[in-house]
Structure 1
Amino acid sequence: MSKTTSAGLDFTKEQLKIISHRNGHLRIIACPGSGKTEVVSQRVVRLIEGGVAPKTIVAFTFTEKAAEELKFRIRQILEERCPDRADFGDMFVGTIHSFCFQMLKELVPEYRSYDVLDDPKRVAFLSKGANYFYNIGLVRLEKTHGLWYFQTIDRFIESADIVMTEDVDPDRITDRRFAECYGNYRASLDREKYFDFSSVMHAFVSLLRDNREVRKAVHARIKHVVVDEYQDVNRIQDLLVELLSEGADSVCVVGDDDQNIYHWRGSDVSIIRSFAKKYGRRYRVTEGRLSTNFRSTGAIIDTARSLIEHNDERLAKEMEPSRKLPRKSEPGDIIYHHFGSDNEEYSFILDKIRELLGTDFLDKRNNPFSLSYSDFAVLVRSNADAAKVVAFLDRNHIPCVAYSGTSVFEAPEVVLAMNCIAYLFGAKSYPDFGKTPTLSQLGEAYKAVFDRRFTEAKVEKFIVGMARVRKEADALLTKGKKDYFGDLGLQGFYYKILSAMGAGRFDFGDVTNYNLAALSRAISDYESVWIRLRASEVRYFFNFVRSFAESHYTDTQHSDASVINAVHVLTIHKAKGLEYPAVFIPGFETRRKPLSGYNFVDSKLYDVRKYEGTKEDERRVYYTAMTRAEKYLFISGSEDHEGRKHSYKSHPFVQELDFGHVSGVVKLKRLRSGLPPKAAVSGTYPTSFTQLNAYSRCPQDFRLRHIYQYNAGVPVTFGYGTNVHNALNIIHSDYVENRKVPDDGEIEALVNRIFKLRYATKPIADRMKTSVIRIVKNYVGLHKGDFGRILETEKKFEFALDDALIAGQIDLLKKVDEKGSVTEVEIIDFKTEQNDSIYTADYERQLRFYAIACLESLGLDPQKAYVHHLDENRKSEVDISASVLGATRNEVAEEVSKILRKQFPPRPSARTCSECDYAMICRFRHPSAG
């Protein structure tokens, strides 16, 4: 039995029951391909239609990509059914750690000046000499346990995450040396205003648990909670759900214990299994089941089910194919074979791609199209496997997108660049950590790397250039304890190295640029945790590279978001939630399980078994991989691997598969009717004003910054404008809530609490703080009489414009008059820079973006738009007439189209190039720029 709602979609009785659920706790067990995103989106829309304010709804997703997809679908449904409610920008949709950080900043103003360290920056933070040897004292942990430097950092991170994720009391830890270092680490993070992913969750959960007033405020705001991929939550995340439950009208969790594949990160499959038992004591718990797989053919479902049913511990469920799925299985759709060598295995993948490319296919709604490269996915177990597949496809001219791969630090141009850094600052050679390289040795290496590839490369010019840069480095090193880098830091010297290599004279090509840009990002990640890096401390950067960067900065050439039509190569863990018409699972063979290292936390203080993994965990990984496939599923392994001495047997799980639908290697002959490829969904290229502004100013700037992803150096005053914005936002928000205008003393106290310039020395920071206080006082004094017109502050938005999904945030929205309509608004954007003609057009264009966002996304009618120049305390109005906004729309559409077509024509000019972060490494720069 089904019922049709929302744009002709058919929903089953079970789906409708879930969609209409409004109060109490709801556990949805969702089989693969069961349309959970659609059902969850429909349920959220039903809540909003019923009068629930979007700001009272939070939806947690496992990844930011999943959040984008959920938001996009909710917006689509709202625009269809109730366009007047299409603005749900106040509803949080995103990861749990992002939510925790956002809430901390809203509830405790001091946290607005904090930053979250991602994995690279956390390792950089720990490997800083001052932290490793003194502030945190990891060196004492290293000596106590007889570890290497790199092992100490790895094990400390793993152990610290366990303490926070499992909510372990540090006082109960037997290893007091570790407990001491952990306490020092948390204190150092707080002192330098940082969180890491684990501590930001732990901090918010602790605040929510221990502070009654905070809990009351959060419960008053959040009334409906949705948790996607609930089978993968860990203990601290579930504790958050438990605390939010106390004030919520509804809590909806969605997941499938058969797809729990993150045990090694602390995810606890027992949490989803025991949901009804845990919450049934206090709340009304409803069970929902999405058992119909709308994605895969019956043959794939039968094959995958035959594997997972060998797991003893699982929730009872029965995945069934959709009776209405028009796509049927055919002989040869599922193939298994164990090849003699990995080269034969990769050739098989290549053959199948070529055989199926351009053949007819039906999607789940019976829409015909022809298969293109983007309809194929190769799912592997490790980055090393991905790198081999990518290399093979590259050699055979198959475009591919990969989010896993080989380390860029194996690339010869990156090794050369690392040795150039070592030469400048007296560090040991890379990667052997021998004697500091000589200029002569660098010259020989340059000839080996560049002379053979580029006719324009001249080793003589390289040697002269490096000798010149060496003099600058020597001058810095002679300053002793005052050998601080200038504004652009080590990154600035790296650009000088690239210039000596020839970056400003000839084209390095895509591969070399992608690799060298990855080193640029590694330098930025490392430098970001220093106030100002000293030249004598560059040697610690090499420790960071060895302990983290080598294994985490992988091939980025194949992870370009603007590449749409390409085969996807990714690990099974990164394929979660995705689907493809054709899926390859190579490497299905017996492999040695990597040895798990010990950590510093007593095993009796947490459930250590869930981190270790079992055969059931491994079955869940392969089951998840198989169920990504819509029609074609190719499983393979190989006996001999290039570079490996021992042979590989087929995986024991092969014996558990039902071979009723599986065949050996056959040549596939499928119909080719000349159908067009699958139509791209609008809004598939996520971007922002900042990115599009870079393209507008100079497409080559965009290419270097956002395609290759070279990072620019960071000036010491970086963050000054953010401090001003934070202070104004707090003042505006407080006025909206309490109708209170702060006096001068309160403004000073506020700025003193939240101010942070991460890269400025104390004298510079003090001057900047005085400036912020002056600006904010002047603003409040002159404009407090206008505060009654404040409608929204820091209003987030997203809207689709042809191929682009544009996101941003408007500083301030005001009503036209204090008692006027809440839909007719003025847009205000605050700027702290002095007026400059090169940026004036940028500001005007930015305000036009915001005006389009008001119309397209927020349901508002912008009447006027202003740039408020805070330094000069003046406003300039921006033209947002219909004709001008129409022209802006066309410009954006054309720019995104050019980005996707890889068109980056340079626009050199004396003014633009003199302001450009990349002039030193750009071969198109204006002659006046040097």
Structure 2
Amino acid sequence: MIDLDKELNPQQADAAKTTEGPVLILAGAGSGKTRTIVYRISHLIEDLKVEPWNILALTFTNKAAKEMKDRVAAMLPEGMRAPNISTFHSTCLRIMFSHADKLGYTSSFEIADAADQKAVMREVYKKLNIDTKLIPEKRAAREISEAKDSLKDPEKYAQDNFGDFSKKQFIDIYREYQAHLMHNNSMDFDDLIMNTVKLFKKYPDVLESYQDRYKYIMVDEYQDTNTAQFEFIRLLADKYKNLCVVGDDDQSIYKFRGADIRNILDFEEHYPTAKVVKLEENYRSTSNILAAANEVIANNSERKAKELWTKTPEGNKIRFRQLDTASGEAAFIADDIRKRVDEGAKLGDFAILIRTNLQSKEFEDAFRIRRMDYEIVKGLRFWDTKVIKDVSAYLLTVAGGSNDMRTNRIINLPKRGIGASSVDKVAAYAEENGMSLFDACCKVDEIPGVSGKALTGIKSFTEMILGIRNEAKNMKLSDVVTRIISESGYDQYMLMESDSTEKYAEMKDYINKLKEALDSYEEDAEEPDLIDFMRQNGVEGSTIDKVTDESNNDRIQVMTMHNAKGLEFPNVYVSGMEQGIFPGFGSIMSDDPMAIEEERRLCYVALTRAEKTLTLTASRQRMMNGERRFYAISQFMKEIPDELLDMNVQPKKAEKKERVIPEARKIARAAFEEKPVAFSSSFKNAKSGAFSSSAPKPDYEVGDRVRHFKMGAGTVKSIVPGGRDYEVTVEFDSVGVKKMFAGFAKLKRI
């Protein structure tokens, strides 16, 4: 017999012992939920003599499934068969392999991976003659995925959207896409769950056979389930009702992936006889950290009441620092980590959590300057993102670089009608004549076999590159980027590749950050040179391309808050605690009040990753969309009680430009030490919109005609106090409506 009362705390033991009927285990962050599930499974098998094959435990990731399987196996007698512990997709895949013929497939059906799905979508667009500029393929793919997650096949999707003109083409695309998969005896990943549900509903005998097999069902991370997963679980558990779901509504942060928080919030409505067990004792964080997290999440209305507590001491207060700029914020954190490492800590003890990957660049620069090992977890370095690699390839080609790989990357990007066979002929000519691929492109008229669209496309490509190259010496480096984006058609390409306006805006932000870095480099460099700039930033094969040593795990972890879920670190920095960054502007402006609640849950997740120390930072100003914007402190900061915060750090006497290592001496102004700013508790009472404006009011009024040095004449539509400046909206005669800060726009009244 397993002594559950000895091995588990009272609440965990209660959850493990409750094996019959529906059970909801509300497992707070760091409360030992996996341990509880493992002991519950072992108790069923060893003590209650339930056959292992009668148990099904569902997880969301293979990693979670493997960890749970290994821990259960370690507790069971040697040689005993382990229960079925796997992901939703793996479980449904096994079911489909046995019964796919009932839905019109053969048992040898194939899984269409991401590349296959993309190829199918191209065929569908070609057949339906749909312009990718109007409906990007990724947008259609996302629409289909969301439909399947909601258990809507093409017919159901068409019925639900009948009469909606905006969905007309999606209906056609979905129908043709699914027909193409069926014709090729293939299912995509979303089909696996949707088709299993369809199978169960269409063939009750098949459903009952699986119900009799899996008499005890457990689901991990239940708050992340979507409609299809919910229905799959409901059907499977419907006969015996021995369903145990484990999750935390306060950590439901995947709505953008289709997760429905109502599944966990309404569990007791779906199962009126359900027993609810709350795991609230935290084994990870100090009591001060937990108190802050509890205070923040308590502001959500859609949640199940619970409060984390711990037996560990209070620990340090939570530090809050506001810096002047994003690079200053990164420099402060880097210096703070370096100081603590000098005092005996390890780099691997520190994690920096960011709201979006866009924030990573300043940290990459700060760590590279200081030669500190770091890792961008589950994300790409700024310089390794596709958009930056594409634009960098253009820049290096314009600068006269002779790297054939870069030329090959951009010769048909965006598409210019240049096929692979034509590129091969040009490459062969280049090799025969001992020249670069680009130089061979310049002599395309002399190359046999290259004609038609390919000839026109290559000539257009070289003329564009040479035209920009000839003028680049008289241009700002950032203006060279602007020319490339415009003349190459890359801006339109980004729009086509984006599956949402948010994704397009993010890609534009990457380019704007590149332009900012170029401007900063040009200010500092004695003789600005594109290749020198690229080399310094690891784009042209520099030795500082990757600071981290793959064999060394002692490195700072930089990751988004979403990627941090399920992880823990001794010391955590949460960056970007500003209105408009965290919570994001989209959530603030959303008509759905639940949007802010999801952001608050994300904040709760971020705070509860910290074991010993937690530092929250903010920046007064950031460059966004090519404009300098001022930000107020995040409303989430104001939800943390004063007594839990340490904001009393003395500012440095003067700001100075820091010395940087030779390899990175011209990196984009990340090389400034910024002084932390101490704030009194009065900031708690500040309005969430912004700080009071300290800039003088513009000398023009709404309705006045003004002139901008670049955008020309326009009419002032609004003037709103914001941050330290006034936000002015102007409808320009030539470029339409633009928003800008008065201090930077320097508008002249006409």
Q: Distance in 2 between matches of 1:310 and 1:218?
A: 42
Q: Distance in 1 between matches of 2:578 and 2:361?
A: 18
Partner of 2:283: 294
1:10 deviates by 4.4
SS at match of 1:185: helix
Partner of 1:148: 133
Asked whether the 8 Å contact 1:423–1:436 carries over to 2, the reply is no
1:182 deviates by 1.2
Q: In structure 2, which of residues 573, 581, 590 is the aligned counterpart of residue 584 of structure 1?
A: 573
1:115 deviates by 4.0
Q: Distance in 2 between matches of 1:195 and 1:120?
A: 13
Partner of 1:157: 141
Q: Distance in 1 between matches of 2:372 and 2:58?
A: 36
Q: In structure 1, which of residues 6, 9, 14 is the aligned counterpart of residue 11 of structure 2?
A: 14
Indicate yes or no: 2:598 matched with 1:617: yes
Q: Closer, same or farther in 2 for the Cα pair 1:562/1:164, shift >3 Å?
A: farther
Partner of 1:61: 59
Q: In structure 2, which of residues 166, 169, 173 is the aligned counterpart of residue 177 of structure 1?
A: 169
Q: Closer, same or farther in 2 for the Cα pair 1:392/1:76, shift >3 Å?
A: farther
1:387 deviates by 3.8
Q: In structure 2, which of residues 274, 283, 303 is the aligned counterpart of residue 285 of structure 1?
A: 274
Q: Distance in 1 between matches of 2:547 and 2:110?
A: 29
SS at match of 2:60: coil
1:591 deviates by 1.2
Q: Distance in 2 between matches of 1:381 and 1:292?
A: 27
Q: In structure 1, which of residues 364, 379, 404 is the aligned counterpart of residue 379 of structure 2?
A: 404
Asked whether the 8 Å contact 2:111–2:186 carries over to 1, the reply is yes
Asked whether the 8 Å contact 1:337–1:665 carries over to 2, the reply is no
Indicate yes or no: 2:16 matched with 1:38: no
Q: Closer, same or farther in 2 for the Cα pair 1:161/1:435, shift >3 Å?
A: closer
Gaps of 5+ in 1: 360-369, 447-457, 481-538, 597-607, 668-930
1:231 deviates by 1.2
Counterpart code for 1:207 = L
Match runs of 1:335-484 below 5 Å: 335-357=319-341, 371-402=345-376, 403-405=378-380, 406=382, 407-411=385-389, 429-430=412-413, 463=436
Partner of 2:645: 662
Partner of 2:563: 574
Asked whether the 8 Å contact 1:301–1:319 carries over to 2, the reply is yes
Partner of 2:553: 564
| Identical positions, percent | 26
Instruction: Spell out, residue by residue over 1:482-510, the C-alpha distance to the aligned partner (whole angstroms, 9 max, x if none).
Output: xxxxxxxxxxxxxxxxxxxxxxxxxxxxx
Q: Closer, same or farther in 2 for the Cα pair 1:434/1:421, shift >3 Å?
A: farther
Which TM-score applies when normalising by structure 1? 0.52
Match runs of 1:780-819 below 5 Å: none
Q: Distance in 2 between matches of 1:111 and 1:388?
A: 52
SS at match of 2:277: strand
1:202 deviates by 1.0
Partner of 2:126: 133
Indicate yes or no: 2:665 matched with 1:645: no
Q: Distance in 2 between matches of 1:476 and 1:221?
A: 65
Counterpart code for 1:39 = T
1:124 deviates by 4.4
Asked whether the 8 Å contact 2:89–2:193 carries over to 1, the reply is yes
Match runs of 1:214-253 below 5 Å: 214-248=206-240, 250-253=242-245
Instruction: Spell out, residue by residue over 1:352-389, the C-alpha distance to the aligned partner (whole angstroms, 9 max, x if none).
Output: 32233376xxxxxxxxxx74322221111112113432
Instruction: Spell out, residue by residue over 1:239-297, the C-alpha distance to the aligned partner (whole angstroms, 9 max, x if none).
Output: 111011124462110111111111222221121111112122xxx42211101111111
1:430 deviates by 3.5
Q: Closer, same or farther in 2 for the Cα pair 1:122/1:589, shift >3 Å?
A: farther
1:628 deviates by 0.9
1:432 deviates by 9.5
1:55 deviates by 3.0
Asked whether the 8 Å contact 1:422–1:429 carries over to 2, the reply is no
1:341 deviates by 1.1
Indicate yes or no: 2:260 matched with 1:268: yes
SS at match of 1:293: coil
Partner of 2:614: 633
Partner of 2:249: 257
Partner of 2:732: none
Which TM-score applies when normalising by structure 2? 0.63
1:625 deviates by 0.7
Q: Distance in 2 between matches of 1:609 and 1:211?
A: 42
Asked whether the 8 Å contact 2:360–2:558 carries over to 1, the reply is yes
Q: Distance in 1 between matches of 2:161 and 2:70?
A: 45
Partner of 2:85: 92
Q: Closer, same or farther in 2 for the Cα pair 1:186/1:303, shift >3 Å?
A: same
Q: Distance in 2 between matches of 1:52 and 1:32?
A: 30
1:213 deviates by 2.9
Instruction: Spell out, residue by residue over 1:40-62, the C-alpha distance to the aligned partner (whole angstroms, 9 max, x if none).
Output: 11111212213333333222223
Q: Closer, same or farther in 2 for the Cα pair 1:544/1:590, shift >3 Å?
A: closer
Instruction: Spell out, residue by residue over 1:465-492, the C-alpha distance to the aligned partner (whole angstroms, 9 max, x if none).
Output: 9969x99xx9998999xxxxxxxxxxxx
Q: Distance in 2 between matches of 1:315 and 1:564?
A: 38
Q: Distance in 2 between matches of 1:160 and 1:273?
A: 27
Q: Closer, same or farther in 2 for the Cα pair 1:638/1:613, shift >3 Å?
A: same
Asked whether the 8 Å contact 1:408–1:414 carries over to 2, the reply is no
Asked whether the 8 Å contact 2:124–2:176 carries over to 1, the reply is no
Q: Closer, same or farther in 2 for the Cα pair 1:432/1:622, shift >3 Å?
A: farther
Partner of 2:519: none
Q: Closer, same or farther in 2 for the Cα pair 1:352/1:559, shift >3 Å?
A: closer
Q: Distance in 1 between matches of 2:600 and 2:586?
A: 19
Counterpart code for 1:48 = I
Instruction: Spell out, residue by residue over 1:133-162, the C-alpha distance to the aligned partner (whole angstroms, 9 max, x if none).
Output: 20xx2x44x5xxxx725x432332232223
Q: Closer, same or farther in 2 for the Cα pair 1:214/1:558, shift >3 Å?
A: farther
The aligned length equals 541
SS at match of 2:636: helix
Asked whether the 8 Å contact 1:390–1:569 carries over to 2, the reply is no
Q: Distance in 2 between matches of 1:221 and 1:476?
A: 65
Asked whether the 8 Å contact 2:326–2:362 carries over to 1, the reply is no
Q: Distance in 2 between matches of 1:298 and 1:91?
A: 37
Q: Distance in 2 between matches of 1:465 and 1:638?
A: 44
Instruction: Spell out, residue by residue over 1:880-906, the C-alpha distance to the aligned partner (whole angstroms, 9 max, x if none).
Output: xxxxxxxxxxxxxxxxxxxxxxxxxxx
Asked whether the 8 Å contact 1:428–1:436 carries over to 2, the reply is no
| 612-621 vs 578-587, greater mean Cα deviation | 612-621
Asked whether the 8 Å contact 1:299–1:661 carries over to 2, the reply is yes
Gaps of 5+ in 2: 454-489, 511-538, 540-544, 651-750
Q: Distance in 1 between matches of 2:215 and 2:495?
A: 44
1:422 deviates by 9.8
Q: Distance in 2 between matches of 1:9 and 1:479?
A: 79
Q: Closer, same or farther in 2 for the Cα pair 1:635/1:594, shift >3 Å?
A: closer
Q: Distance in 2 between matches of 1:76 and 1:259?
A: 29
Instruction: Spell out, residue by residue over 1:297-332, the C-alpha distance to the aligned partner (whole angstroms, 9 max, x if none).
Output: 1000111111111112211212211x2x3xx3444x
Q: Distance in 1 between matches of 2:186 and 2:550?
A: 29
